[in-house]
Amino acid sequence: MVLSSRLGLYTVIRTKLPTIGLRLMAVNSLLRIDRVGTRRVPRILSAKNAVKMAERPSSAKKGLIDQTFLKLLMLLLAAVFSGHALAMRVDAELGVEARLFYEDGLSDQGNVGESFTFKAEFVADVGESSQLVFTPYARVDAEDERRTHVDARELFWSTVGDDWELSIGGKQVFWGVTEFNHLVDIINQTDLVENVDGEDKLGQPMVYLSLVRDWGVIDLFLMSGFRERTFPGEDGRFRLPFVVDHDNARYESNDEAANVDFAARWSHQIGGLDIGLYHFNGTARAPSLLLEPRPNAPPELVPEYAQIDQTGLDAQYLTGNWAFKLESIRRSGQGDTFHTVTVGIEYTLVGLLGSDIDVGIVAEYFHDERGEEAFDTLFENDYAVGLWFSFNDESDSQALVGVIRDADSGETVVSVEARRRIGEHLTVSLEERVFSGADDLDPNDPASWIPDEDNRAAFLEKDDHMQLELKWYF
């Protein structure tokens, strides 16, 4: 069964404009069914603006990521293709997506959107214990030019021994056990133009070493070639009232995108308990967004990426039909050091009323010790409940219903999703999301675009929508 529900976090904004001097919070809350043919990929995001950033031009880093992946591809191909006959496996998918929004956007964005996608996975066996994996991805969007993009989701070479694994290249790595809010997941950058829920990730260039021992698994990551977060463009939906300036991102590190990040994680299974503990040092995946004026033009948001230290714990205990879940982090480097936690419980009804249908009941609670000062998340005091349905039929039919609510402000998101397979090569999925509880923003009054602490997700009030997606696998 490939089904899960998670909540997506957008980002945070703090402004430097003295005439405003307020904090903006922009957050999205969604549930999502995993896509057929993809692995579980994560979510959480954090951000801040309490650290003094160096303001330097970004021209030196332009094209860095493209060059990084190109060099990796050339080196890997030269290294592994030179003396080996390869066994190649290829899986691919083509998709068409249609979105219908029930209102025009705050900035008069259209209420209908169409796009086309392509994704493939090439796996080449090199010898008896090595592989080369390449996962290209492309989307063409009719409305948002920033959503039209091409990316290498993964491009890496890996080799395995009896008790170790080594990978070099761009990979996707997921950490987490809870369903709505993955606090601990930090390795990969979010590709936010893909979907508001933040599930889609960019590949992170790395050297990865995994060591298997009787007392647990040690995963070591050495990373460089930082990938900046993508944001919707001026004509895109699910965007902040102000456009994000992608071309002038700033970094606390003098090395900018070339800064070397490090992470180490220990994980182990003890009976019904799965536990993981890690530490990360490097560039924050979610930027602060600074609202800055432009001559003869509306203000724009400039991303700033801080250096952070983050320690995380995830644990899941399974007993019978019950699952008890925990994720917790402690972070420094983005203002005062703070701690936040998510706890959850899940119960599975197998064979509901004697049928083939399985039903899962999920409940989670989020707490951030910063309370209302938690500028990088809505989850300072929130709860979520959800139901998933697996029909266990030949079409692999699945459905998901979820509600997330702020216990203080009452801001709420309701999500309904369904998916099934048609024949051997086609899937169809339907999503609907409704946002409520926040005041509408006045499109003619920029001052109203800066919500107070009880109105943080107001910019989403016009983004209620339905989405239909067809995918052909071959």
Q: Is residue 360 part of a domain?
A: yes
Q: Token pair for residue 281?
A: 């040092």
The pLDDT value recorded for residue 138 is 97
The pLDDT value recorded for residue 263 is 98
Q: Is residue 375 part of a domain?
A: yes
Return the H-helix or E-strand segment holding 350.
none
pLDDT band at 53 (very low <50, low <70, confident <90, very high): very low
Average confidence (pLDDT) over 380-398: 94
d(CA 31, CA 413): 9
* 146 Rama class: left (phi>0) / alpha (psi -120 to 50) / beta: alpha
Is-above-0.85 flag for pTM? no
Q: What is the CATH number of the domain that holds 277?
A: 2.40.160.10
Q: Is residue 2 part of a domain?
A: no
Query: In the predicted model, is pLDDT for residue 61 greater than 90?
Result: no
3-state SS, 54-90, equals ECCCCHHHCCHHHHHHHHHHHHHHHHHHCCCCCEEEE
Q: Token pair for residue 112?
A: 């209908």
**Rounded mean pLDDT of the chain?**
82
What are the backbone dihedrals phi and psi of residue 160, each rounded to the nearest 5 degrees, phi first? -130, 150
d(CA 222, CA 218): 13
User: Quick one: how far is CA 183 from the chain centroid?
Assistant: 11
pLDDT in tens, 453-471: 666 777 788 889 999 999 9
Return the H-helix or E-strand segment holding 136.
strand 130-141
Range of weakest confidence among 44-48, 334-338, 423-427: 44-48
Rg (CA), the chain: 22
Do residues 109 and 241 lie in contact, with contact meaning Cβ atoms separated by under 8 Å? no
- Count the neighbouring beta carbons within 10 Å of the beta carbon of residue 355: 10
The pLDDT value recorded for residue 106 is 82
The pLDDT value recorded for residue 4 is 31
Eight-class DSSP state of 295? T
How many helices (DSSP H) and strands (DSSP E) are in the chain? 1, 23
The pLDDT value recorded for residue 29 is 32
The pLDDT value recorded for residue 290 is 87
Average confidence (pLDDT) over 412-439: 93
pLDDT in tens, 330-341: 999 888 899 999
Do residues 321 and 359 lie in contact, with contact meaning Cβ atoms separated by under 8 Å? no
The pLDDT value recorded for residue 450 is 66
Domain hosting residue 435, numbered range: 11-473
Q: Is residue 196 part of a domain?
A: yes
Q: Is residue 285 part of a domain?
A: yes
Range of weakest confidence among 369-373, 385-389, 411-415: 369-373
d(CA 27, CA 438): 12
Average confidence (pLDDT) over 262-277: 98
Beta strands at 273-283 and 250-251: parallel, antiparallel or unpaired: unpaired
Q: Is residue 138 part of a domain?
A: yes
pLDDT in tens, 217-245: 999 999 999 999 999 998 999 888 888 99
Of 300, 194, 299, 181, nearest to 237 by C-alpha is 194
For the chain, the domain total comes to: 1
pLDDT in tens, 175-217: 999 998 889 999 999 999 998 888 899 999 999 999 999 999 9
Range of weakest confidence among 30-34, 144-148, 454-458: 30-34
